Amino acid sequence: MVDSVTPLKEAIDAIFESGGKSIELCYQCGLCNTVCPWNLVKDFMVRKVVREARFGVSEIEGEGIWQCAACGNCVARCPRGVKIIDVVVALRKIASEYNILPKTIRVARGSLSGEGNPWGGRREERGNWADGLPVKSFTENTEFLYFPCCTQIYDHRTRKIAVATANILKKAGVDFGIIGPEEVCCGESIRKAGDEDLFKKLAKENIKTFIEKGVRKIIVSSPHCYQVFKNEYPEFMVSFEIIHISQLLIQLVNQGKLKFVKEYGKKVTYHDPCFLGRHNGICDAPREVLSRIPGLDLVEMANSYRDSLCCGGGGARIWMETPKGERFSDLRLGQALEAGASELATFCPYCILNFEDSRLGLEDSNVIEIRDVTEIIQDVI
């Protein structure tokens, strides 16, 4: 016996008000299901999530609404223009209001409110990663602000990316500085987790700092920072020039300011981070940079460019535990090995964290290396 439901008007209104109004447009074709990476590991019916929302009968207590990694595959392909990530975020907002949150999100939220980062690191230590490096503090006369991701600041593995980046920028003679304790997390992931208030608080804090410091151009390492600075901060009526490190690198190479002088005789595959490739269309710059490295053999995986396979870290899932067997990053490493690569290169600290985890889960974790492109470049300049 199937139970019967009646559309819940109040719930529908709440979802619409929280940004999910585009669910109205859905004509239930089911394409979203077929492109959602979750269905590579277990059944997950995106269409049903959308349909339930349309009738106001979503289950906000369950795991369902927390699955989405915001990879954007479904949004990119939805023939009807349903902004499915926004729908999911709307549901999370409602869950957030009822305080029905996964525990890990709660932890990250606490840390963000208190210390301005989700990793429980101390705010004062925000600039510590650059200790001993020739990195100056940003002043009004500095051309670029370099804004590393919180991960790069507090996690020892991805900190190497920040270090590599600083070294490269220095070598290329780029005039850049960092802010340190006065900046906070960009807020991308907490917004996806549905905590709009906290996001706004973080964003305003950053904006205030940036304006006070006279920031005009910002270099970011993380596609997530890029996404939120470039596409979401303008909601606060500000406009900074945001440049992803991959874009800057190819400019520097083309201008002759950065020269690759050493051979890098490895077979490398490039993984497009969702927020760099699919969400922001930056697919060619990273490949162009890699292809300029002498000796580097660039191979493609089955899913590439805008069709890339998500590592599983977007949509606040970087803070959540994904059980073994359900990790997209495991599948992605499989693809990299199938392509014959001995190294997987990418441009995103979240991806690096997930892939490193997956690598350790391999029978022989030495078959492949995970590197940020900046780390490779650091080796060849």
Partner 1 sequence: MIVGGGISGIQASLDLANSGFKVYLVDKSPAIGGHMAQFDKVFPTNDCSMCIESPKFIECDRHPNIEILTYAEVNRVEGEVGNFKVTLTKKPRYIIENKCRGCGTCMQYCPISIGDTYNENLSSTKAIHIYFSQAVPLLAYIDPGTCLYFRDKKCTICAGVCENKAIDFHQKEENLEIEVGAIILAPGYEVFDPLLRPEYGYGKMKNVVTSLEFERILNADGPYRGEVVRPSDGKHPKKVAWIQCVGSRQVIPGGHSYCSAVCCMYAIKQTILAKEHESNLEATIFHNDVRTYGKEFEQFYRRAKSLPGVRFMRSYVSIGREISGSNNVTVKYSANGSVKEEEFDLVVLSVGLTPPKEREKLAAKFGIDLNAHGFCQSNSFNLMETSRPGIFVSGAFGGPKDIPESVVTGSSGAVLCGEILSGRRGKLAREKEYPPERDISAEEPRVGVFVCHCGTNIGSVIDVPSVAQYASTLENVVHTEEVLFACSADSVKHIAETIREKGLNRVVVAACTPRTHEPLFQDTLREAGINKYVFVMANIREHSSWVHSREKKKATQKANDKIRMSVARAIKLRPLKEIELPVNKKGLVVGGGVAGMTSALNLAKQGFEVHLLEKNKDLGGITRRIHYTLEGKDVQVYLNDLIHSVYINPLIHVYTGSSVIESSGYVGNFATKVMHHGKEKRIQHGTTIVATGAEEHKPDQYLYGKNDNVLTLLELEESIVRGDEKIINSESLAIILCVGSREDNRPYCSRVCCGQAIKSALRLKEINPGMDIYIFYRDIRTYSFKEDYYREATGKGVVFIRYDLDEKPLVEAVKGNNGQILNITVTDPVLEKKVVIEADALALATAVVPSAQSEEISRLFKVPLSQDGFFLEAHMKLRPVDSATEGVFLCGTAHFPKHIDEAAGQAYAAAGRACTILAQNTIKSSGAICEINEVNCSGCGLCIKACQYGAVDLQETPDGRKARVTPAVCQGCGACASVCPTAAISINHFDDSQIMAEIDSAYSPTVKKGQFEPKILAFLCNWCGYAGSDMAGVSRMQYAPNAREIRVMCSSRVHPKFIMEAFLQKIDGILVCGCHLGDCHYMKANEQTDKMVNITKKTLEKIGINPERLRQEYISAAEGAKYAEAVNNFTRYLTKLGPVQINEEQERKLIEYKLKKLQKKK
The reply to whether 224 sits near partner 1 by the rule CB under 8 A is: no
Q: How far is the CB of 85 from partner 1 (least distance, A)?
A: 15
Rounded to whole angstroms, the Cα distance separating 138 from 183 reads 11
The reply to whether 207 sits near partner 1 by the rule CB under 8 A is: no
Q: How far is the CB of 60 from partner 1 (least distance, A)?
A: 16
Q: How far is the CB of 303 from partner 1 (least distance, A)?
A: 9
Q: Which is nearer to partner 1, 78 or 249 (CB)?
A: 78
Strand partners, 144: 176, 217
Burial 305-327 (b: 16+ CB within 10 A, else e): ebbbbbbbbbbbbbbbebeeeeb
For 57, the enclosing helix (H) or strand (E) is none
Using CB under 8 A as the binding rule, the residues of this chain from 34 to 63 that contact partner 1 are 34-36, 39, 43, 45, 47-48, 51-52, 54-55, 57
Q: Which is nearer to partner 1, 47 or 279 (CB)?
A: 47
Q: Which is nearer to partner 1, 54 or 327 (CB)?
A: 54
Q: Judge contact between 168 and 249, C-beta under 8 A.
A: yes
> Please, is 237 exposed, middle or buried when counting C-beta atoms within 10 Å of its C-beta (0-12, 13-18, 19+)?
exposed
Rounded to whole angstroms, the Cα distance separating 187 from 201 reads 9
Place of tokens 């709009």: 196
Place of tokens 């479904």: 74
Q: Which is nearer to partner 1, 16 or 119 (CB)?
A: 16
Using CB under 8 A as the binding rule, the residues of this chain from 120 to 179 that contact partner 1 are none
Listed ranges 75-83, 138-146, 193-201, 350-358: which one lies at the site for partner 1 (CB under 8 A) = 75-83
Rounded to whole angstroms, the Cα distance separating 261 from 325 reads 41
Q: Judge contact between 161 and 352, C-beta under 8 A.
A: yes
- Residue from the set 8, 14, 25, 238 that interacts with partner 1 by CB under 8 A: 25
The reply to whether 33 sits near partner 1 by the rule CB under 8 A is: yes
Q: Judge contact between 169 and 146, C-beta under 8 A.
A: yes
User: Of 347, 352, 349, which is closest to residue 369 (Cα–Cα)?
Assistant: 352
Q: Which is nearer to partner 1, 39 or 209 (CB)?
A: 39
Using CB under 8 A as the binding rule, the residues of this chain from 274 to 333 that contact partner 1 are 302, 307
Q: Which is nearer to partner 1, 45 or 337 (CB)?
A: 45
Q: Which is nearer to partner 1, 6 or 255 (CB)?
A: 6
List of residues 6+ apart from 188 with CB closer than 8 A: 224, 225, 227, 228, 232, 275
The reply to whether 24 sits near partner 1 by the rule CB under 8 A is: yes
Q: How far is the CB of 94 from partner 1 (least distance, A)?
A: 19
Listed ranges 6-14, 189-197, 321-329, 371-379: which one lies at the site for partner 1 (CB under 8 A) = 6-14
The reply to whether 251 sits near partner 1 by the rule CB under 8 A is: no
Q: How far is the CB of 5 from partner 1 (least distance, A)?
A: 5
Other beta carbons within 10 Å of 28: 12
Q: Which is nearer to partner 1, 7 or 234 (CB)?
A: 7
The reply to whether 373 sits near partner 1 by the rule CB under 8 A is: no
Q: How far is the CB of 196 from partner 1 (least distance, A)?
A: 24
Rounded to whole angstroms, the Cα distance separating 6 from 237 reads 41
Amino acid letter, 53: A
Site residues (CB under 8 A) for partner 1? 2-7, 9, 24-31, 33-36, 39, 43, 45, 47-48, 51-52, 54-55, 57, 76-81, 302, 307
